[in-house]
Structure 1
Amino acid sequence: MSERWLVALPVFNEVKHVDGVLDEVLKYCKEVLVVDDGSSDGTAEVLARRKDVRVLTHPQNRGYGGGLISAFNYARVHHFDKLVTIDCDGQHEPKRIPLFFEQCTPDIDIVSGSRYLRQFSGDSLPPETRRRINETITAEVNQRLGLELTDAFCGFKCYRVSALKKLAITETGYSMPLEFWVQAAYARLRIKEMPVPLIYLDEKRSFGGNLDDGDVRLQYYHLTMNRAIAAAEALELARDQMLSGECLM
């Protein structure tokens, strides 16, 4: 029996991009899920007119991580084998979707896009603050978790859905990738990076509220990572103690 593949797009107020991006995505995968995260700009109306994609709607905005969590849960519940996540703002090229699925071989759990693994002709120049924060956090992720990432924040990924069952992501905001990397590392998931072009179409795109301040955003990322590591260590300790107790019985 052939594998079932799904592409999921978390969407919030993307009325300018959503139709064009979906038309392109559907060229490379016929099973497409859009998680509309409480859009209020007409995105919901655009999606309602389409009959060629699955739509999951959050009545209220839950955040970037909340959209991905819903996509993960949907892929598990509906028994897909592989899931690709791609942003809907034009930063990711849908033509690369088949490469992500292909690279997610039986010995790989996560194929993660990297905008810094190698350069492509026509790459954008990343906003200085975003690049600095990405470098800082990626280095910390590697040092604390023993990983070898070059881009901790790229949303273009392929997941083996069976591997997602080992995770319990709860962070709904923009720092969700850090909780994801912590849990992936502690679950010993097998990770591979794949280069993707660096494309910024809206360099002034807002993170919302005080997160537009780079220092505040960096602190928020550190807090999420600290909390996720503490939770993973506590869970690991509890498992070790349970196993020790079983051995003594």
Structure 2
Amino acid sequence: MDLSLVTSKMQQLQCCVVVATYNNEKTLAQVLDGILVYTNAVILVNDGSQDGTSEILQHYPQITQIQLPRNKGKGYALKKGFKKAVSLGFAYAITLDTDGQHFPEDIPLFVAALEASETPEVLIIGDRNMNTADVLARSAKGNRVSGYWVRSVTGLTLNDTQSGFRLYPIKAMQKIVFFWSTRKFEFETEAIVKSHWRGIKIVNIPIQILYPKDRVSHFRPFMDIARIVVLIIWFLIVRGLYIIPRDFLRNLKKKGFKRFFVEDFLKNGDSPKKKALSIALGVFLGLSPLWGFHTVIVIFLAILLKLNKVIAFAFSNISLPPFIPFVLLMSIRTGDLVLGKNSSLSMEELKDFNAIQQLESYFVGSIVLSVSCAVIFGLLGYLLLKIAQPKNIVAHG
């Protein structure tokens, strides 16, 4: 793309560059000079640098500068920069690191990708091709770990989740509430997950990468990865308790039961075997004595076992409130049968949760009932799905 065309496109798209820097005096000027070739719409956040950064920035009066008195972290600095950019009327912000690993010459790639996107609400992440010899082994390993966990909470398969060279749809992201505590590198993971949950498209595009000898990195492998892991654990809980049930109900309401059943159940690309196992898992957990934890556990196990989360969640709702008395009664009667007892509780008494008086019968019966029903529903589901499987659908899994 022609240089003048890139500059013009960035203006039309209301796109700026936001840079967070901390003690990168050896590479900062080179990075800024490279950015200014394409645009003067640059917002730099000096995150409490203690080296010669302030002196270098005196030579760049044309860029908007935010000076933080002390180091707060990359995430904090980026959020400050985004807030400033939105206040100046920008809708998009390209970010890149100032340690010399990114090439400002790749800025046109992000502009072109934004123009070609099917939706204006897209977060574009530079793919550093982590399998190349020029990439540090530590960075490649960290990226694989991050990619796995991001996939576990979003379902997205991204080649690079840790790259700092990105294009953020900052105007669309104003609706997202980010944690005040994500002040460091974990913010970039939070941005991916919450943007995806908000309906923003996430894509990778290939970029160049270089790790110069004088590069100064502030990534602390143990502490920063630990912060990301804690964040991901929280996201797993939120996904299980809220995101998947929310999306399930939205789809069901939008399509109606018949269309939802056909499109999301019958025509889903998973094999009848995987669907049947998902049904069995949902029924098993729905009937098991795990009141209050069904949703979290079924989603966690569906992810762990690589089963269909929507189907597993749907069938775990066999224990919805209206069905609870019936489930309790069946569990106690099954337990009585196994233990040779004879409980006298009626359906009316079960509505008051008097099943607790028959704890032994209930516990044994619920296990037997959940296992038996899981096997029965799973086998029936497999047979029906095998018969009803559309011939033009190639199942996988």
Q: TM (normalized to structure 2)?
A: 0.53
**Structure 2 CA distance for partners of 1:126 and 1:203, relative to 1, 3 Å:** farther
Partner of residue 225 from structure 1, selected from 223, 232, 250: 232
Structure 1 residues without counterparts, runs of 5 or longer: 244-249
Matched, 1:139 2:148: yes
* SS of equivalent to 1:176: helix
Partner of residue 151 from structure 1, selected from 141, 157, 160: 160
Matched, 1:80 2:90: yes
Give how far 1:212 is off: 3.9
**Other-structure match for 1:110:** 123
**Other-structure match for 2:60:** 50
Paired AA for residue 83 in structure 2: N
Give how far 1:204 is off: 7.9
**Other-structure match for 2:198:** 187
Paired AA for residue 227 in structure 1: W
**Other-structure match for 2:71:** 61
* SS of equivalent to 1:153: coil
Q: Distance in 1 between matches of 2:58 and 2:214?
A: 29
The structure whose residues are more often strand, as a share, is 1
**Other-structure match for 2:207:** 196
**Structure 2 CA distance for partners of 1:203 and 1:53, relative to 1, 3 Å:** closer
Check conservation: 2:24, 2:216, Cα contact below 8 A.
no
Larger Rg: 2
Give how far 1:2 is off: 3.0
Check conservation: 2:20, 2:74, Cα contact below 8 A.
yes
Give how far 1:11 is off: 0.4
Structure 2 residues without counterparts, runs of 5 or longer: 1-10, 251-397
Paired AA for residue 167 in structure 1: I
Number of aligned residues = 233
* SS of equivalent to 1:67: helix
| % identical aligned pairs | 25
**Other-structure match for 2:41:** 31
User: What is the RMSD of the two structures over their aligned residues, measured on CA atoms?
Assistant: 2.8
Check conservation: 1:81, 1:161, Cα contact below 8 A.
yes
Matched, 1:161 2:174: no
Q: Which has the higher contact order (CA 8 A, sep 6+)?
A: 1
Q: Distance in 1 between matches of 2:218 and 2:145?
A: 18
Check conservation: 1:124, 1:199, Cα contact below 8 A.
no
Check conservation: 1:8, 1:85, Cα contact below 8 A.
yes
Q: Distance in 1 between matches of 2:56 and 2:191?
A: 31
* SS of equivalent to 1:61: coil
